[in-house]
């Protein structure tokens, strides 16, 4: 992506040259994923085309965004692949979705901790998941719309691509 194609990030979406990038989770899908507690994450392998072996991992939602953490922190193999490849797919609640992975830092981690505590209270694995090691490996999972998922509403919508991001531009 050239420097003239910079992406500007906003909660739940990206903007590129004034055009919206489709990145929000449909509320019903996000709810199903979080309630099912069966998320499997599969970042791309080094070839950038083959999905890695799906790894079961805890997930939480905060402000309509999906987050995961590496129990073993940045040493988690799925985390390293997600950071290196920046994309892959998730499978949960009967939903398979191509996604983008974005590392997370800052105060949002406190709210993610709260979500982990609420969802996984009583688990012996909870404290490590809200500890410094796992917090350092927090990832936001952003859905990536595919061509077949983008609808053409009365020929008023055009699909453009900037790198791996799918841009929707109204006419």
Q: What are the sequence ranges of the domains in the chain?
A: 1-23+144-171, 37-143
Place of tokens 């290196």: 84
Class of domain 37-143: mainly beta
Give the per-residue pLDDT at 24. 87
Residue among 151, 35, 47 at smallest CA distance from 95: 35
Give the per-residue pLDDT at 22. 52
Between the alpha carbon of residue 79 and those of residues 27, 83, 144, the distances in Å are 25, 6, 18
* Angle of CA points 133, 93, 43, to nearest 5°: 45
Decide if 69 contacts 139 (C-beta within 8 A): yes
Decide if 40 contacts 50 (C-beta within 8 A): no
Task: Tally Cβ neighbours within 10 Å of residue 167.
Answer: 22
Place of tokens 């083959």: 50
What is the pTM for the complete model shown?
0.75
Question: How would you label 33-72 residue by residue, b for 16+ Cβ within 10 Å and e otherwise?
Answer: bbeeeebbbbbbeeeeeebbebbebbbbbbeebbbbbbbe
Encode the chain (171 residues) as per-residue pLDDT tens digits.
Answer: 333 333 334 444 444 444 445 578 999 999 999 999 899 999 999 999 999 999 999 999 999 999 999 999 999 999 999 999 999 999 999 999 999 999 999 999 999 999 999 999 999 999 999 999 999 999 999 998 644 444 443 333 333 333 444 433 333
């Amino acid at each position: 992506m050239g420097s003239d194609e910079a992406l500007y990030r906003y909660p739940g979406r990206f903007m590129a040259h004034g055009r919206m990038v489709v990145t929000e989770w449909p509320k019903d899908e996000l709810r199903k994923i979080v309630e099912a507690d069966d998320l499997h994450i599969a970042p791309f392998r080094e070839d950038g085309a083959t999905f890695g072996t799906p790894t079961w991992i805890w997930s939480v939602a905060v402000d309509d965004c999906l987050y995961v953490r590496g129990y073993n922190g940045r040493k988690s193999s799925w985390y390293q692949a997600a950071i290196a490849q920046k994309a892959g797919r998730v499978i949960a609640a009967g939903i398979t979705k191509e996604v983008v992975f974005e590392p997370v830092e800052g105060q949002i981690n406190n709210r993610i901790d709260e979500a982990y505590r609420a969802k996984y209270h009583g688990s012996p694995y909870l404290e490590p998941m809200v500890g410094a090691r796992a917090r350092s490996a927090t990832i936001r999972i952003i859905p990536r719309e595919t061509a077949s998922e983008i609808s053409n509403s009365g020929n008023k919508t055009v699909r453009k691509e900037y790198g791996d991001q799918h841009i929707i531009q109204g006419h």
